[in-house]
Amino acid sequence: MKQHNGVVKSAKIINVISAGLMSLAGLLLLVIPDLETMVAQRIVLGTLFGLTGAAKIFGYFSNDLYRLAFQFDLAIGIFCILLTLLTELMPEYAFGTLPIIFAAYVSLDGLLKIQTSIDARRFGMKSWIVMLITAVMLFGAGGFALGAVLAQLLRPNAVVGIALMADGLENIWITASTVRIRARKKNLSGQFGLEEE
Protein backbone atom coordinates (compact mmCIF):
# COMPACT_ATOMS: atom_id res chain seq x y z
CA MET A 1 0.00 0.00 0.00
CA LYS A 2 2.88 2.36 0.72
CA GLN A 3 4.10 1.87 -2.83
CA HIS A 4 0.60 2.72 -4.11
CA ASN A 5 0.55 5.87 -1.96
CA GLY A 6 3.90 6.86 -3.42
CA VAL A 7 2.55 6.52 -6.97
CA VAL A 8 -0.47 8.70 -6.20
CA LYS A 9 1.69 11.32 -4.48
CA SER A 10 4.07 11.35 -7.44
CA ALA A 11 1.17 11.67 -9.87
CA LYS A 12 -0.19 14.61 -7.89
CA ILE A 13 3.16 16.41 -7.81
CA ILE A 14 3.86 15.76 -11.50
CA ASN A 15 0.43 17.00 -12.55
CA VAL A 16 0.72 20.17 -10.44
CA ILE A 17 4.15 20.86 -11.96
CA SER A 18 2.91 20.27 -15.53
CA ALA A 19 -0.09 22.54 -14.91
CA GLY A 20 2.25 25.19 -13.55
CA LEU A 21 4.39 24.91 -16.68
CA MET A 22 1.25 25.32 -18.77
CA SER A 23 0.42 28.57 -16.97
CA LEU A 24 4.00 29.75 -17.36
CA ALA A 25 3.96 28.98 -21.08
CA GLY A 26 0.72 30.93 -21.41
CA LEU A 27 2.33 33.89 -19.65
CA LEU A 28 5.39 33.70 -21.90
CA LEU A 29 3.21 33.73 -25.00
CA LEU A 30 1.61 36.92 -23.72
CA VAL A 31 4.67 38.90 -22.68
CA ILE A 32 7.63 37.75 -24.79
CA PRO A 33 7.41 38.85 -28.43
CA ASP A 34 10.11 36.41 -29.55
CA LEU A 35 7.71 33.54 -28.90
CA GLU A 36 5.65 34.76 -31.83
CA THR A 37 7.97 32.92 -34.18
CA MET A 38 6.83 29.52 -35.36
CA VAL A 39 10.00 27.73 -34.25
CA ALA A 40 9.79 29.04 -30.69
CA GLN A 41 6.10 28.24 -30.46
CA ARG A 42 6.71 24.74 -31.74
CA ILE A 43 9.36 24.09 -29.11
CA VAL A 44 7.37 25.59 -26.22
CA LEU A 45 3.94 24.20 -27.07
CA GLY A 46 5.16 20.84 -28.34
CA THR A 47 7.24 20.21 -25.23
CA LEU A 48 4.49 21.51 -22.96
CA PHE A 49 1.77 19.28 -24.33
CA GLY A 50 4.06 16.27 -24.48
CA LEU A 51 4.86 16.64 -20.76
CA THR A 52 1.23 17.39 -19.92
CA GLY A 53 0.00 14.35 -21.84
CA ALA A 54 2.49 12.05 -20.12
CA ALA A 55 1.61 13.49 -16.69
CA LYS A 56 -2.11 13.05 -17.28
CA ILE A 57 -1.77 9.45 -18.46
CA PHE A 58 0.40 8.67 -15.42
CA GLY A 59 -2.18 10.31 -13.16
CA TYR A 60 -5.01 8.30 -14.69
CA PHE A 61 -3.32 5.02 -13.79
CA SER A 62 -2.32 6.13 -10.27
CA ASN A 63 -5.77 5.21 -8.84
CA ASP A 64 -6.06 8.01 -6.28
CA LEU A 65 -8.58 7.81 -3.45
CA TYR A 66 -11.45 9.92 -4.80
CA ARG A 67 -10.70 9.21 -8.48
CA LEU A 68 -11.78 12.74 -9.38
CA ALA A 69 -8.82 14.78 -10.59
CA PHE A 70 -7.61 12.15 -13.06
CA GLN A 71 -10.88 10.54 -14.15
CA PHE A 72 -10.80 11.99 -17.69
CA ASP A 73 -7.03 12.17 -18.03
CA LEU A 74 -6.45 9.12 -20.20
CA ALA A 75 -8.38 10.67 -23.09
CA ILE A 76 -7.01 14.16 -22.43
CA GLY A 77 -3.47 12.81 -22.12
CA ILE A 78 -3.71 11.01 -25.46
CA PHE A 79 -5.14 14.18 -27.02
CA CYS A 80 -2.19 16.20 -25.67
CA ILE A 81 0.26 13.69 -27.15
CA LEU A 82 -1.51 13.99 -30.51
CA LEU A 83 -1.24 17.79 -30.27
CA THR A 84 2.49 17.40 -29.63
CA LEU A 85 2.91 15.23 -32.71
CA LEU A 86 0.85 17.62 -34.82
CA THR A 87 2.85 20.61 -33.59
CA GLU A 88 6.24 18.98 -34.07
CA LEU A 89 5.71 17.03 -37.28
CA MET A 90 3.34 19.28 -39.25
CA PRO A 91 3.82 22.85 -37.97
CA GLU A 92 2.92 24.42 -41.30
CA TYR A 93 -0.56 22.87 -41.06
CA ALA A 94 -0.92 23.05 -37.30
CA PHE A 95 -0.29 26.68 -36.49
CA GLY A 96 -3.16 28.05 -38.53
CA THR A 97 -5.65 26.04 -36.49
CA LEU A 98 -3.85 25.65 -33.14
CA PRO A 99 -5.42 28.73 -31.49
CA ILE A 100 -8.87 27.34 -32.26
CA ILE A 101 -7.87 23.86 -31.06
CA PHE A 102 -6.39 25.23 -27.82
CA ALA A 103 -9.44 27.38 -27.11
CA ALA A 104 -11.74 24.41 -27.74
CA TYR A 105 -9.51 22.22 -25.53
CA VAL A 106 -9.77 24.71 -22.65
CA SER A 107 -13.56 24.92 -23.06
CA LEU A 108 -13.81 21.13 -22.98
CA ASP A 109 -11.52 20.94 -19.94
CA GLY A 110 -13.75 23.50 -18.23
CA LEU A 111 -16.82 21.35 -18.88
CA LEU A 112 -15.05 18.26 -17.51
CA LYS A 113 -14.01 20.21 -14.41
CA ILE A 114 -17.65 21.22 -13.89
CA GLN A 115 -18.53 17.53 -13.79
CA THR A 116 -15.60 16.89 -11.42
CA SER A 117 -16.86 19.56 -9.03
CA ILE A 118 -20.36 18.05 -9.05
CA ASP A 119 -18.85 14.62 -8.33
CA ALA A 120 -16.80 16.18 -5.53
CA ARG A 121 -20.05 17.20 -3.85
CA ARG A 122 -21.03 13.53 -3.61
CA PHE A 123 -17.84 12.89 -1.64
CA GLY A 124 -18.72 15.62 0.82
CA MET A 125 -15.91 17.96 -0.22
CA LYS A 126 -16.58 21.40 1.19
CA SER A 127 -14.62 23.05 -1.60
CA TRP A 128 -16.88 21.71 -4.37
CA ILE A 129 -18.68 25.03 -4.84
CA VAL A 130 -15.37 26.86 -5.34
CA MET A 131 -14.34 24.15 -7.80
CA LEU A 132 -17.62 24.66 -9.64
CA ILE A 133 -17.19 28.44 -9.82
CA THR A 134 -13.61 28.20 -11.08
CA ALA A 135 -14.58 25.50 -13.59
CA VAL A 136 -17.34 27.74 -14.98
CA MET A 137 -14.80 30.56 -15.19
CA LEU A 138 -12.41 28.26 -17.08
CA PHE A 139 -15.17 27.29 -19.48
CA GLY A 140 -15.91 30.99 -19.94
CA ALA A 141 -12.22 31.73 -20.62
CA GLY A 142 -12.13 28.99 -23.24
CA GLY A 143 -15.33 30.29 -24.83
CA PHE A 144 -13.97 33.85 -24.83
CA ALA A 145 -10.70 32.69 -26.39
CA LEU A 146 -12.56 30.74 -29.07
CA GLY A 147 -14.79 33.72 -29.87
CA ALA A 148 -11.82 36.08 -29.92
CA VAL A 149 -9.98 33.87 -32.41
CA LEU A 150 -12.95 33.48 -34.71
CA ALA A 151 -13.80 37.20 -34.56
CA GLN A 152 -10.10 38.18 -34.81
CA LEU A 153 -10.38 40.41 -31.75
CA LEU A 154 -6.99 39.35 -30.37
CA ARG A 155 -3.78 38.09 -31.90
CA PRO A 156 -3.56 34.28 -31.76
CA ASN A 157 -0.64 34.33 -29.31
CA ALA A 158 -2.65 36.30 -26.78
CA VAL A 159 -5.60 33.95 -27.11
CA VAL A 160 -3.45 30.85 -26.64
CA GLY A 161 -1.63 32.50 -23.72
CA ILE A 162 -4.84 33.45 -21.88
CA ALA A 163 -6.35 30.00 -22.44
CA LEU A 164 -3.23 28.13 -21.28
CA MET A 165 -2.83 30.29 -18.18
CA ALA A 166 -6.44 29.74 -17.14
CA ASP A 167 -6.30 26.01 -17.79
CA GLY A 168 -3.02 25.58 -15.92
CA LEU A 169 -4.24 27.45 -12.84
CA GLU A 170 -7.50 25.49 -12.78
CA ASN A 171 -5.67 22.17 -13.05
CA ILE A 172 -3.37 23.10 -10.17
CA TRP A 173 -6.39 23.93 -8.02
CA ILE A 174 -8.40 20.82 -8.91
CA THR A 175 -5.45 18.44 -8.53
CA ALA A 176 -4.38 19.92 -5.20
CA SER A 177 -7.96 19.85 -3.89
CA THR A 178 -9.18 16.43 -4.99
CA VAL A 179 -6.26 14.00 -5.07
CA ARG A 180 -6.22 11.99 -1.85
CA ILE A 181 -4.00 9.11 -0.80
CA ARG A 182 -5.30 7.48 2.37
CA ALA A 183 -8.61 5.62 2.48
CA ARG A 184 -8.81 4.47 6.11
CA LYS A 185 -8.77 7.91 7.71
CA LYS A 186 -11.63 9.03 5.49
CA ASN A 187 -13.67 5.86 6.17
CA LEU A 188 -14.35 5.55 2.45
CA SER A 189 -12.66 2.24 1.66
CA GLY A 190 -15.74 0.07 2.03
CA GLN A 191 -18.17 2.49 0.45
CA PHE A 192 -16.13 3.05 -2.70
CA GLY A 193 -14.29 -0.27 -2.97
CA LEU A 194 -10.90 1.17 -2.09
CA GLU A 195 -7.98 -0.70 -0.57
CA GLU A 196 -7.09 0.13 2.98
CA GLU A 197 -3.57 0.83 4.23
pTM of this prediction exceeds 0.85: no
Tell me whether residue 194 is in a domain: no
pLDDT at residue 36, rounded to an integer: 54
Tell me whether residue 90 is in a domain: yes
CA separation for the pair 45, 43 (Å, rounded): 6
Residue range 14-49, pLDDT digits in tens: 888 888 888 887 887 777 755 556 677 677 778 888
Mean pLDDT computed over 67-77: 78
CA separation for the pair 76, 111 (Å, rounded): 13
Mean pLDDT computed over 69-92: 81
Is the Cα dihedral 130, 132, 134, 137 positive or negative?
negative
Tell me whether residue 192 is in a domain: no
Tell me whether residue 196 is in a domain: no
Residue range 116-147, pLDDT digits in tens: 888 888 878 888 888 888 889 889 888 888 88
Residue 89's identity, in one-letter code, is L
**Structural domain for 47, as ranges:** 2-182
Cα three-residue angle 116-120-126, rounded to 5 degrees: 135
pLDDT at residue 69, rounded to an integer: 65
Number of domain units in the chain: 1
Residue 184 has pLDDT above 60, yes or no: no
